[in-house]
Amino acid sequence: MMCKDYLEETKRAYSPLNAIEEASRCLLCHDAPCSKACPAGTNPERFIRSIRFRNVSGAVETIREGNILGACCARVCPYDKLCEEACSRTGIDRPIDIGGLQRYAMDFEKSFCKKTLESPETKLQKVAVIGSGPAGLAAAAVLSLKGYKATIFEGKEKAGGWLTYGIVPSRLPQEIVDYEVDYIKSLGVEFKMNTRIGTDLTIDQLKEDGYEAICVTVGLQSPVVLSIPGVELSGVTTAVDFLSAAKPTQGAIEIPNDVIIIGGGDVAMDCATTAKLLGAKKVTIIYRRTVEEMPATKAELEHVNGLGICVLPSFKPVEILGENGKVKAIKAVGLDWLDRNTFAEVPESNIQLKAELVIQAIGQKAEEISYTGLEVNGKGLAVSDQENGKTNIEYVFAAGDIVNGGKTVVEAVARGKAAANSIHEYLSHKKNCSHIAEEAAVQKEGER
Amino acid sequence: MAKHKDLSIEFCGVKCENPFFLSSSPVGSNYDMCKKALESGWGGIYYKTVGYWIPQECSPRFDATRKEGTAFVGFKNMEMISDKPTEKNLEMMAKLKRDFPNKVLVASIMGENEEEWVKLAKAVTETGADIIECNFSCPQMTSHAMGSDVGTSPELVEKYSAAVRSGTHLPVIAKMTPNITTMEIAARAAIKGGATGISAINTIKSITEVDFDHFTCLPIVNGKSSISGYSGKAVKPIALRFIAQMAKDPQLKGIPLSGIGGIETWADALEFLLVGATNVQVTTSIMQYGYRVVEDMISGLSYWMEEKSIDRLSDIVGAALPNIVPAENIDRDFKVYPKYDHNKCVGCGRCYISCYDGGHQAIKWDSENRRPNVDEEKCVGCGLCWVVCPIEKCVTPDKTEFHSFGTPREINVIAKKL
């Protein structure tokens, strides 16, 4: 029972009539602020209108053209902070359930095999994409659709990155991730799994193999850990380790009764949901800032509340206590925030909570990427133009979390797309140049 | 107890406790149904049409026109007159009148020839019914000597009205078909033949939707379907028009009218009264929601009368008729500019799109603030903007400008009912 709740999608899907009913609430704005608010250009204005006028295939086409991870994004996007926040209908009552409608269109595509995209048959140059997370998948798909031979190199066993190894299945079932990976494969993208660039293969080898451009979308793989006493205790873990153990085993992990999560983003919420749905009796989230500042989406926060998970905002963990090397409690101090950057500790609100498992969900950082030859900043992130993914190396591009330090899936899709477009520009320019050079050579030959 | 207005009204000389009746249809097919309806508050019943000819019905027999975000707006049915034995129907009608003496029972009848019409008139008169309605208008009869093929022929209408008249002392109503250009001609023929009043409209011949796999309309009855009667909210505007035209016809002056077509609420019913009906009939909304819809019709109409200080319903019958005039009598001396309430506006720009694509490009769109502004040079005052605006009282008629040939004076413009 517990496992079923963990594995099955929480949010109910629309029936066709309900979807049309919801779509008909849309004001069909002249200047559609929802579409402007989508980083990936999923174009809700257009796909809601298609659903409204009974053209669900058209809606599928719009979504796919803008966002190759339309089905995943439909489930994990922070709608309340993007398109739905921009929705004009909010001025009347509540925004259109854009995520729900996007999911409806994507479910329709999946159920009725309504694939709307197709790659050209003739293939252009080879491009290597390093990492199969959202940015890499998006970049490879766009490249393939433009006619390039795109290959994704992935160190892990399964594709999807954080989609596969992180996000809780009750929010994003693995079946949906696999479906979209298969979709991208069907566009001609090749996947080389269990292949780590930097160890199994080098950038130079990729060049030698004929890859004319490389897109680095390796994401952030290392968890950030607290520097407080007790983090080394057994039973103190990180979101990355916890979630990547739970999801691939379909929840077959041991969960103790008292679980503490540290953090306030969707990853923290996913850890809390996972722990609760897999059997923890009491799950408590400790977050440093105020509730208003929590990066988690409203829907996720509501879901967590609905599961009876306690959220303690404005508390800073100060020490993790143990016994025989194993965690037994956590100490935190209440904070009084004066402004976004200044707080005072409130010793009167010191707390100590029983803990058998402490999960740190306070962010991830970049792994060493010197093998790429890319310039990195102080945080170890690739230095790259956010708009086009260009880097210090002409033929290497970078996109997604490794550049922006960890944002949303839809943001990663947007950046992956942008890098692909920029690769396309680079390679077509290169091809033209070589044509011109060839022609010039031929001409010279003739003159002789 | 809540205070309620007296909704009683006289129709064809019969006192009715309220004007809300079931129309002759599946909703009034037997004793138990009618009993439940009357107990729910309906003023009377047009019992499902009785004839000697017994139909064989098809299955399925209904379909609906849907509109996103709403319950169905139109309804198609292929049912004919009662398929119960005539004697059985007569018995049930008699029992109803016995058990509910203060409610009004209208016997709807349909014959295949003069003789049958006379015989039916006599038979239903004996049940104690208060009124007889002649069904000249069912559009889906499999017998062409019956139904709307009769209603479109003034000669047959007059002949059969006269036949019924000869068979009863009761008031006689002729139920008209809308599948005709001018209803007044057939209505006059009915009155000439001896009918007391007119009811309208019966259903409109229709195809609600066509199936893309079986290439026929719906409902599909073993691969085939037929054109048949359309009813429900979608037909109300057409029904109101027919009632208003008959009410304004000098030759039909003073003839009692019963309005039928798309009535779901007290407001729908009131519209029929305002264009001249003294009685209204309902089926589709009952099929959709049940007899209980009458509760809010009674209560809602009563509150409206209270608000308007109207004591007798008959006082407002036909009140809208003097103001419904021929197109040539409309005041064309001025135009009215819209006013956009920028505080109520949510910035959807629907007015802008409609004005550009379906109007006169007279809205200037402030894309920075996402707000419309009228361009008086181009605005013709058509009012499309306030019709399409999704916000209540956001776009309203405002400043009036008289054309050079018009004399400035007070005018009154309302284009959107709230």
Residue in this structure with the two tokens 């509109």, named with its chain if needed = B67
List the one residue out of B249, B230, B294, B229 whose CA is nearest residue B268.
B294
* Nearest by Cα to A317 from A357, A363, A352, A281: A352
Beta pairing, strands A149-153 & A126-130: parallel
Measured in residues, chain A has a length of 448
List the domains of chain A with CATH numbers: 7-112 (1.10.1060.10), 126-221+366-435 (3.50.50.60), 227-360 (3.50.50.60)
Closest partner residue to A31 (CB to CB) among B69, B345, B370 is: B370
Is the pLDDT assigned to residue A142 strictly greater than 60? Answer: yes
In this model, does residue A425 exceed pLDDT 70?
A: yes
Residue A147, token pair as written in the block:
């006619």
CB-based contact, A31 to chain B, within 8 Å = yes
Q: Determine the pLDDT at residue A191.
A: 98
Q: Dihedral of CA B101/B104/B110/B116: which sign?
A: positive
Residues in chain B where the model's pLDDT stays below 50: none
The residue of chain A nearest to residue B372, with distances taken between CA atoms, is: A30
Q: Which residues are CB-contacts of A445 (< 8 A; sequence separation ≥ 6)?
A: none
Confidence of residue A45 (pLDDT cuts 50, 70, 90): very high
pLDDT, tens digit, 9 for 90 and up, residues A213-272 = 999 999 999 999 999 999 999 999 999 999 999 998 999 999 999 999 999 999 999 999
Closest CA to B345 of B366, B375, B376: B366
Q: Are A214 and A136 in contact (CB under 8 A)?
A: no
| Nearby residues of B206 by Cβ (< 8 Å), 6 or more positions away | B74, B76, B227, B228, B229, B230
Q: Chain B within 8 Å of A27 (Cβ-Cβ)?
A: yes
Domains of chain B, each with CATH number or no CATH: 9-323 (3.20.20.70), 331-402 (3.30.70.20)
State which amino acid sits at residue A231: V
Please give the structure tokens belonging to residue A237: 């873990």
A chain contacts of residue B390, beta-carbon cutoff 8 Å:
27, 92
* Subunit contact B348:A23, Cβ cutoff 8 A: no
Is a pLDDT exceeding 50 seen at residue A1? no
Quick check: helix, strand or coil at residue B194?
A: coil
CA distance A386 to chain B (A): 26
- Closest Cα partner for A263 from A235, A241, A285, A292? A285
Q: Round to whole Å and give the CA distance between B37 and B282.
A: 11
Give the C-alpha separation, B331 to B315, whole Å. Answer: 28
CB-based contact A30 B348, cutoff 8 Å: yes
Pick the residue from chain A with its C-alpha nearest to B344.
A91
Radius of gyration of chain A measured on its C-alpha atoms: 24
Question: Which value, in Å, is the radius of gyration of the alpha carbons in chain B?
Answer: 24
Best residue of A30, A35, A90 to probe chain B, by most B CBs closer than 10 Å: A30
A22: nearest CA in chain B? B69
Compare all CA atoms of chain A with the CA of B348 and give the residue at the minimum distance.
Answer: A29
Cα distance from A88 to chain B (closest Cα, Å)? 6
Angle, in degrees to the nearest 10, between helices B86-99 and B31-40: 30
Residue B322's Cβ-count burial label (10 Å; 0-12, 13-18, 19+) is exposed
Q: By percentage, how much of chain A surpasses pLDDT 90?
A: 87
Q: Is the CB of A52 inside 8 Å of chain B's CB atoms?
A: yes
Reported as type and span, the H/E element at residue B373 is: strand B371-374
Q: For residue B43, how many other CB atoms are within 10 A of its CB?
A: 25
| Interface contact A94, partner B, CB < 8 A | no
d(CA B123, CA B114): 14
Q: Encode pLDDT of A77-132 as tens digits.
A: 999 999 999 999 999 999 999 999 999 999 999 999 888 999 998 789 999 999 99
Backbone φ, ψ for residue A339 (5° rounding) = -150, -170
Contact A25 B69 (CB under 8 A): yes
Contact A334, A352 (CB under 8 A): no
Q: What separation in angstroms does the CA of A417 have from each of A33, A426, B123? A: 21, 14, 81
Q: Exposed, middle or buried: residue A213 (CB in 10 Å: 0-12, 13-18, 19+)?
A: buried
Q: Give the model's pLDDT for residue A144.
A: 97
Question: Which residues 383-412 of A have a C-beta within 8 angstroms of B?
Answer: none
Q: Cα separation of B127 and B47, whole Å?
A: 12
A247 closest CA partner among A304, A193, A169: A169
Interface test with A, best of B348, B361, B367 (most A CBs within 10 A): B348
Is this complex's ipTM strictly greater than 0.90?
Answer: no
Q: Is A140 exposed, middle or buried (0-12, 13-18, 19+ CB in 10 A)?
A: buried
Choose, from B34, B58, B134, B138, the residue flagged as catalytic. B138
- Residue whose token pair is 């330090």: A405
Could you tell me the CA-to-CA distances from B250 to B175, B185, B230, B242, B255 in Å, in that order? Answer: 20, 12, 29, 14, 10
pLDDT of residue A3: 73
Tell how strand A326-339 and strand A342-354 pair up: antiparallel
- Residue B138 is among the residues annotated as catalytic for this protein: yes
Q: Within 10 Å of residue B87's Cβ, how many Cβ atoms?
A: 10
pLDDT over 50 at A169, yes or no: yes
